[in-house]
């Protein structure tokens, strides 16, 4: 039963003139559970993390050793955190420059109602459905220099296979490849949905006016796909900042911290080392970056969507 | 006749039902619940624990012992929260060391010194075991499982390269052997560098050989330059001598411990520096699910260092035990007393599920290679618990990090030692 129906019934029951009271009653009935859940599982932990980040604390008892901004200072002095920030940036850039154009190209190819497109859509979307850890383990095997897929190719040419995940210079590139492979299908589906919203009559009219394919893409498809692209850019960036599981399964941030991201850094330097205060400081920095980005983006780029 | 059979059947099933009811009675009437949590994945160990629990229950009416299992990594991450929960188990698996010291400081563990002194319970254990669970002259844990780090080697590959394993006595001997293997086109050493801790065995064992117990104790007390002292810089330098020869298998920096055990089992390299747990891991991860059979498998101790102050009999390894959480019933300690009886530990030794840290059990170990390790630790004047356990979670992680960085050639020995000292100062 919809809320509207319920309020209507309630209003009928209470007689005329109690519309406002009825709404308040409904709010009183339905708001507390959501509010409670949000407070206990979202707002409170965020506040706690901010509080813990000011202490040197190993997780036992209550934090007592107040250290002010020391955790944040240490954090920005740690070279591995610099690597993590750089890697996050790299993932964002690759997502925007490689992944999204690829997704758009695929969407343009597969948005039509030709035979076989559904099959291809499914194939490209499959990696997204796969659990991150499973995908990571599969690719760990692909990259394995002894028994992996890559090893077999190299061996077929009689060359000594590379150990991609063991090379600090190659490991991040290998991870980026997996990220693109895993998530471009999701953006492709978003774009296909967006493309199908565009009325075919626009294309017809353009063609009658003598527009070429590039002109049609540039003047009709791209502008009308704008809201979808802005949304997918938003998802891509937030997802890039939060990248974690795939890296844990592939390299755990190694070798020599070369593939850390902010979240894997939080895990290995905060949780594993039982430095809850320090880990919370990483969490706070991550949170601030995400919030500033999310609100800024919504405010300035998605204002009209 | 038929009726008779039926009645007897009826009687029989009735008796069965009664017996079943009787069997479930103690469980229902249990006054005391003792809950033990461990991290051993091996089903044989679990059977062994359950069997001990049942035998204890049968002689202690009203007591129920519950054996709980949590996967190793998950357990380590949950432990802090678990210990402060009202629902905490009574007996917990422990590696001793820095993590335990923090638990003691937080007041979540039971001091079992009086129980250990009663009836000379503590005399049952190897001295190194009691030492590992003693903090400020109080005993906080019941040691039960030991391990030693050393070189396991592939006899066939050693013969092929013409290297005599028993001739490797000093660090220089080891370097010479590495060169010989390389000349013969054989990978000298396998290492699970992706997990980092397999590499920290090199750095810490070298430190033990160079400075012995006094150097470690001095560093812990913060004397001199602590872990930035000469002993630990020298350990890094000697490790670098080995690393510079590029002795490890290709891609070792990405290989995990299980993966590397499999590689060793597949004969991809001549030796591996590891604790005895490698044997089980090798079996599970080798391509043929067997690995190297015992008759082809050798073991030699970590080589000594010229001019080193450490005794050649000093050992590096683990000493795992049980800790008792605050507010546990006295039956929890009673169960551990029963658990650590030599006759019960001999079963574990015979089955080969682990090497007991209890006196008078090593002769029950059937595999000669394992018996040798148990005896080594039993005879050692100084058994050092792994640095990454001993120094606590945060410093231990730094030791592992710098060891992996040394192996990757990305840090200087002096900087590695300084990083450990800085972490130690920050944590203590």
Instruction: Classify B355 as helix, strand or coil.
Output: strand
Identify the CATH homologous superfamily for domain B30-146+318-379: Periplasmic binding protein-like II (3.40.190.10)
The residue ranges of every structural domain in chain B are 30-146+318-379, 148-316+386-427
A-B contacts (CB, under 8 Å) = 79
Set of chain B residues whose Cβ sits within 8 Å of the Cβ of A251: 194, 254
Q: Which residues of A87-101 are buried (b: 16+ CB within 10 A; e: fewer)?
A: bbebbbebbeeebbe
CA distances from A272 to A90, A133, A275, A279, B396 (A): 25, 19, 8, 10, 10
Predicted local confidence at residue B24, as pLDDT: 46
Set of chain B residues whose Cβ sits within 8 Å of the Cβ of A163: 250-251, 253-254
Inform me whether the pLDDT recorded for A50 exceeds 90: yes
- Strand duo B134-135 + B138-139: pairing: antiparallel
Q: What is the mean pLDDT of chain B?
A: 91
Residue of chain B nearest A59, judged by CA positions: B80
Instruction: Classify B358 as helix, strand or coil.
Output: strand
Q: Kindly report, residue by residue over B196-253, the tens digit of the pLDDT.
A: 999 999 999 999 999 999 999 999 999 999 999 999 999 999 999 999 999 999 999 9
User: What residues form DSSP beta bridges with B148?
Assistant: B317
> Is the same domain home to A48 and A82?
no
Is residue A295 a part of any domain in this protein? Answer: yes
B421 to chain A, closest Cα gap in Å: 16
Is residue A305 a part of any domain in this protein? Answer: no
User: What residues form DSSP beta bridges with B65?
Assistant: B34
Predicted local confidence at residue B11, as pLDDT: 47
Chain B 207-266, CB below 8 Å of chain A: which residues? 250-255, 263
Set of chain B residues whose Cβ sits within 8 Å of the Cβ of A61: 84, 106-107
Predicted local confidence at residue A279, as pLDDT: 95
Query: Strand locations in chain A, DSSP E?
Result: none
Q: Is B407 on the interface with A (CB under 8 A)?
A: no
Q: Taking CB atoms and an 8 Å limit, are B268 and A146 in contact across chains?
A: yes
The mean pLDDT of B290-307, rounded to a whole number, is: 96
The mean pLDDT of B57-86, rounded to a whole number, is: 91
Report the residue from B80, B194, B410 with minimal CB separation from A274: B80
Chain centroid, CA B163 distance in Å:
30
Inform me whether the pLDDT recorded for A111 exceeds 90: no
Q: Taking CB atoms and an 8 Å limit, are A254 and B404 in contact across chains?
A: yes
> Is the same domain home to A221 and A187?
yes
CB atoms within 10 A of CB B235: 27
Q: Is A268 on the interface with B (CB under 8 A)?
A: yes
Report the complex ipTM. Answer: 0.81
Q: Taking CB atoms and an 8 Å limit, are A255 and B193 in contact across chains?
A: yes
Question: B30-146+318-379 and B148-316+386-427: same fold?
Answer: yes
> Is the same domain home to A110 and A162?
yes
Q: Kindly report, residue by residue over B22-41, the tens digit of the pLDDT.
A: 444 444 445 899 999 999 88
- Strand duo B32-38 + B63-69: pairing: parallel
Q: Is A73 on the interface with B (CB under 8 A)?
A: no
Q: How confident is the model at residue B2 (pLDDT cuts 50, 70, 90)?
A: very low
Q: Which are the contacts of A143, defined by CB distance < 8 A and separation ≥ 6?
A: A149, A150, A163, A164, A165, A174, A250
Q: Is A59 on the interface with B (CB under 8 A)?
A: yes
Q: How confident is the model at residue A10 (pLDDT cuts 50, 70, 90)?
A: low
> Is the same domain home to A33 and A121?
no
Q: A84, A264 in Cβ contact below 8 A?
A: yes
Report the residue from B77, B105, B405 with minimal CB separation from A256: B405
> Is the same domain home to A105 and A10?
no
> What is the C-alpha separation between B119 and B53, in angstroms, rounded?
22
> What is the C-alpha separation between B183 and B247, in angstroms, rounded?
12
> Is the same domain home to A238 and A286?
yes
Is residue A153 a part of any domain in this protein? Answer: yes
What's A243's domain CATH number?
1.10.3720.10
Q: Kindly report, residue by residue over B375-406, the tens digit of the pLDDT.
A: 999 999 899 999 999 999 889 999 999 999 99
> Is the same domain home to A101 and A210?
yes
> Is the same domain home to A89 and A27?
no
Q: Phi and psi at residue B45, in whole multiples of 5°?
A: -65, -40
Is residue A60 a part of any domain in this protein? Answer: no
Tally of domains within chain A: 2
CATH 3.40.190.10 fits B148-316+386-427, yes or no: yes
For residue A32, the enclosing domain spans: 3-52
Is residue A225 a part of any domain in this protein? Answer: yes
> Is the same domain home to A78 and A213?
yes
Is residue A246 a part of any domain in this protein? Answer: yes
Q: Is B409 on the interface with A (CB under 8 A)?
A: no
Instruction: Classify B185 as helix, strand or coil.
Output: coil
Exposure on the CB side of residue B104, measured as CA atoms within 13 A = 20
Set of chain B residues whose Cβ sits within 8 Å of the Cβ of A164: 254
Inform me whether the pLDDT recorded for B81 exceeds 80: yes
Is residue A141 a part of any domain in this protein? Answer: yes
Residue of chain A nearest B256, judged by CA positions: A251
A164 to chain B, closest Cα gap in Å: 8
Is residue A62 a part of any domain in this protein? Answer: no
CB atoms within 10 A of CB A190: 20
Q: Kindly report, residue by residue over A165-197, the tens digit of the pLDDT.
A: 998 889 999 999 999 999 999 999 999 999 999
Torsion of CA B419, B422, B423, B426, to 10 degrees: -170
Q: How confident is the model at residue A13 (pLDDT cuts 50, 70, 90)?
A: low
Q: Kindly report, residue by residue over B128-176, the tens digit of the pLDDT.
A: 999 999 999 999 999 999 999 999 999 999 999 999 999 999 999 999 9
Mutate which of B251, B404, B411, B412 to disrupt the A interface (most A C-beta within 10 Å)?
B251
> Is the same domain home to A111 and A237?
yes
Supply the DSSP symbol for B226: G
Q: Is A61 on the interface with B (CB under 8 A)?
A: yes
Exposure on the CB side of residue B246, measured as CA atoms within 13 A = 6
Chain B 60-79, CB below 8 Å of chain A: which residues? 76-77
For chain A, the residue count is: 305
């Amino acid at each position: 039963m919809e809320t509207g129906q319920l309020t209507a019934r309630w209003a009928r029951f209470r007689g005329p003139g109690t519309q406002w009271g009825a709404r308040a009653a409904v709010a009183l009935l339905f708001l507390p559970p959501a509010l409670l859940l949000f407070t206990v599982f979202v707002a409170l932990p965020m506040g706690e993390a901010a509080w813990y980040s000011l202490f040197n604390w190993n997780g036992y008892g209550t934090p007592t050793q107040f250290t002010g901004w020391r955790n944040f200072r240490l954090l920005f002095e740690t070279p591995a955190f610099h690597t993590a920030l750089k890697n996050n940036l790299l993932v964002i850039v690759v997502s925007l420059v490689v992944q999204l154009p690829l997704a758009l190209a695929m969407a343009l190819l597969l948005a039509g109602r030709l035979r076989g497109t559904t099959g291809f859509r499914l194939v490209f979307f499959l990696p997204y459905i796969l659990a991150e850890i499973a995908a990571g383990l599969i690719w760990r095997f692909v990259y394995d220099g002894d028994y992996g897929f890559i090893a077999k190719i190299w061996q077929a040419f009689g060359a000594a296979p590379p150990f991609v995940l063991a090379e600090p210079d190659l490991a991040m590139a290998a991870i980026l490849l997996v990220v693109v492979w895993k998530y471009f299908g999701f953006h492709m589906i978003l774009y296909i949905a967006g493309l199908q919203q565009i009325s075919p009559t626009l294309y017809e009219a353009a063609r009658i006016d003598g527009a070429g394919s590039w002109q049609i893409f540039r003047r009709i498809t791209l502008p009308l796909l704008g809201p979808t692209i802005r949304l997918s850019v938003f998802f891509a960036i937030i997802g890039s900042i939060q990248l974690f599981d795939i890296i844990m399964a592939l390299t755990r941030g190694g070798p020599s911290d070369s593939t850390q991201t902010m979240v894997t850094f939080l895990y290995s330097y905060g949780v594993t080392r039982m430095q809850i205060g320090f880990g919370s400081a990483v969490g706070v920095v991550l949170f601030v970056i995400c919030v500033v980005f999310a609100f800024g983006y919504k405010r300035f780029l998605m204002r009209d969507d | 006749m038929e009726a008779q059979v039926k009645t007897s059947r009826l009687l029989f099933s009735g008796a069965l039902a009664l017996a079943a009811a009787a069997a479930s009675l103690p469980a229902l009437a249990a006054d005391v619940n003792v809950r033990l949590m461990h991290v051993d994945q091996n089903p044989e160990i679990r059977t062994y624990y359950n069997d001990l629990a049942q035998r204890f229950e049968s002689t202690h009416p009203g007591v129920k012992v519950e054996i709980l299992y949590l996967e190793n990594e998950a357990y380590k991450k949950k432990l802090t929260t678990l210990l402060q929960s009202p629902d905490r188990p009574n007996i917990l698996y422990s590696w001793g060391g820095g993590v335990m010291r923090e638990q003691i400081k937080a007041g979540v563990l039971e001091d079992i010194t009086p129980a250990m002194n009663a009836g000379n319970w503590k005399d049952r254990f190897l001295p190194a075991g009691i030492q590992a669970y003693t903090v400020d002259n109080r005993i906080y844990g019941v040691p039960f499982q030991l391990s030693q780090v050393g070189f396991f080697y592939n006899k066939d590959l050693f013969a092929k390269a013409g290297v005599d394993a028993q001739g490797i006595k000093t660090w220089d001997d080891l370097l010479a052997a590495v060169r010989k293997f390389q000349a013969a086109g054989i990978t000298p050493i396998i290492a699970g560098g992706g997990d980092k801790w397999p590499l920290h065995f090199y750095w810490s064992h070298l430190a033990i050989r160079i400075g012995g117990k006094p150097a470690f104790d001095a560093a812990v007390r913060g004397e001199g330059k602590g872990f930035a002292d000469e002993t630990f810089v020298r350990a890094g330098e000697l490790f670098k001598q080995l690393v510079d020869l590029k002795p490890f298998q290709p891609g070792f920096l990405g290989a995990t411990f299980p993966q590397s055990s499999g590689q060793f089992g597949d004969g991809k390299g001549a030796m591996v520096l590891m604790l005895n747990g490698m044997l089980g891991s090798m079996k599970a991860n080798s391509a043929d699910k067997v690995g190297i059979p015992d008759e082809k498998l050798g073991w030699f101790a970590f080589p000594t260092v010229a001019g080193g102050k450490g005794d050649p009999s000093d050992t590096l390894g683990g000493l795992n035990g049980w800790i008792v959480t605050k507010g546990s019933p006295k039956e929890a300690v009673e169960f551990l007393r029963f658990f650590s009886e030599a006759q019960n530990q001999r079963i574990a030794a015979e089955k080969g599920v682990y090497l007991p840290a209890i006196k008078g059990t090593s002769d029950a170990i059937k595999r000669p290679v394992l018996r040798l390790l148990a005896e080594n630790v039993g005879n050692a004047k100084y058994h050092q618990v792994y640095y990454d356990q001993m120094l606590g979670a945060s410093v231990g992680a730094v030791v592992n990090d710098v060891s992996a960085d040394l192996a990757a050639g990305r840090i200087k020995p002096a900087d590695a030692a300084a990083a450990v000292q800085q972490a130690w100062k920050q944590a203590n």
